[in-house]
Structure 1
Amino acid sequence: MNEVAGLRVPTGRAAEAARLVCTEYADDALYHHSVRSYFFGAAWARARGLDFDSELLYVSALLHDMGLTAPFDSHRIAFEEAGGHLARVFTAGLGWPTERRDRAAEIIVLHMHDEVAPEVDVESRLLQEGTSADVTGTGLEEYDPEFARALVTAYPRLGFGASFVGLFRDQAERKPDCAAAGFFTRGAAERTLAHPLEQS
């Protein structure tokens, strides 16, 4: 489904290529999370009247967790950094200019770091908001409940919470200094498993 509550995914070569890569390498739960993260971010922007580059956000959202998949998992660097490198390679194949390729990588890396002000970098903030709402439920109360229900109907969670916690646990055990390790020290794993939409 390309539309939820009046919000649409972008069309075009880049968006379709990102979808193909995500569906080929991620399981359905991780793919659905990636799309939901885009929609949550887009809804957050709409509620605040923020303009953003939908293609850039969508491509970044679809690739942001590729570093958690076996073919792209790095034993040396954090998964979000590996995902950023993948985004640079992927978008080079699309012919994106260097600055735009760097932006995709930056958005992916920053989604695991401190909150970015939307007036400084709107797409990075939108991916942060989208992933936070979908993973731990942070900020979920700011969204229309009907929108959230429509989103999980279109892109079901499919046990995402448990599978995602497992992926992050693997990252934390192998790379204890990475941002994913902090997921467990601040109680985010418990919030993910208890996500209000997890039973939807």
Structure 2
Amino acid sequence: MRIADFPVPDTPAARGALELATQYQSAAITAHALRSWLWAEAFAHVDGITDIDHELLYVSAVLHDIGTVAEFDNHRISYEHAGGHVGVALTVGAGWPRRRRDRVLEVIVRHNWPSVDRALDAEGYLLEIATGLDISGARPNDLPEDFRREVLTTHPRGMLAAEFGSCVSDQAARKPDTAARRLVDGGIIGKLAANPLERLG
């Protein structure tokens, strides 16, 4: 398994998502988004999930934390809902039909669920377990070590643990009824520090 096995969709929506991410997010958060996409594609391979919308998965992965940046942070709704609406706006401009662009919102929101039923939402399931690996260190040995090393070399973790820990703590404090509060209460700060990817990369 190699990064080259998972080509980036060559579409206006995919290019736009990456442009938004790199313009507004820090390098560490954007690298996290790109690793999450690669982990999601790799988990689809190892879990035998073949019927997925690769463009939808890419756009959702790249934008899944964009609701945390100041320009898109919403004082009332969760960062995953805010980011999902950024994805909806982007894909309207890319000409996606209503149901497909609504799926961006669903997938981004569900990545913060405790778990997602793959039969309900394959892309949501893949993004949830992919971010679970990149943030909390879940299922690291289910992907080949050489692939993990290649991804971490191409998209280094940098200051992700400190940046994301601070970001989600801020979200939890300001919006205590959102998933950010559950993540903080569930020990996400410690999980970030203990993530085996920190030592592998």
Question: How many Å apart are 1:189 and its aligned residue?
Answer: 1.5
In the alignment, is residue 28 of structure 1 matched against residue 27 of structure 2? yes
Runs of 4+ residues over 3 Å off in structure 1: none
Percent identity between matched residues is: 40
Instruction: Render the CA deviation track for 1:165-199: whole Å, top value 9, x for unaligned.
Output: 00001101111111111112111210112211224
**1:14 paired residue number:** 13
Within-5 A mapping of 1:133-172 = 133-172=133-172
- Identify unmatched segments of 5+ residues in structure 2: none
Question: How many Å apart are 1:49 and its aligned residue?
Answer: 2.0
Cα pair 2:6 2:38 within 8 Å, conserved: yes
Within-5 A mapping of 1:96-115 = 96-115=96-115
Over aligned residues, Cα RMSD in angstroms?
1.2
Q: In the aligned structure 2, how far is the partner of 1:189 from the partner of 1:138?
A: 14
Cα pair 1:4 1:154 within 8 Å, conserved: no
108-117 or 51-60, larger mean C-alpha shift = 108-117
**1:131 paired residue number:** 131
The alignment of Structure 1 onto Structure 2 pairs a total of residues equal to: 198
Q: In the aligned structure 1, how far is the partner of 2:102 from the partner of 2:27?
A: 27
Cα pair 2:111 2:128 within 8 Å, conserved: yes
Q: In the aligned structure 2, how far is the partner of 1:139 from the partner of 1:110?
A: 18
**1:75 paired residue number:** 75
Instruction: Render the CA deviation track for 1:81-107: whole Å, top value 9, x for unaligned.
Output: 111111111111111100001001100
Q: In the aligned structure 1, how far is the partner of 2:4 from the partner of 2:166?
A: 31
Q: Supply the AA of the counterpart residue of 2:10.
A: T
Q: In the aligned structure 2, how far is the partner of 1:194 from the partner of 1:61?
A: 23
- Identify unmatched segments of 5+ residues in structure 1: none
The residue matched to 2:156 in structure 1 has which SS? coil
Question: How many Å apart are 1:145 and its aligned residue?
Answer: 1.2
Cα pair 1:7 1:39 within 8 Å, conserved: yes
Cα pair 1:161 1:195 within 8 Å, conserved: no
Question: How many Å apart are 1:9 and its aligned residue?
Answer: 2.0
**2:44 paired residue number:** 45
Q: Supply the AA of the counterpart residue of 1:33.
A: H
The residue matched to 2:71 in structure 1 has which SS? helix
Cα pair 2:13 2:90 within 8 Å, conserved: no
Q: In the aligned structure 2, how far is the partner of 1:26 from the partner of 1:50?
A: 30
Output the TM-score relative to the length of structure 2.
Answer: 0.94
Q: Supply the AA of the counterpart residue of 2:109.
A: V
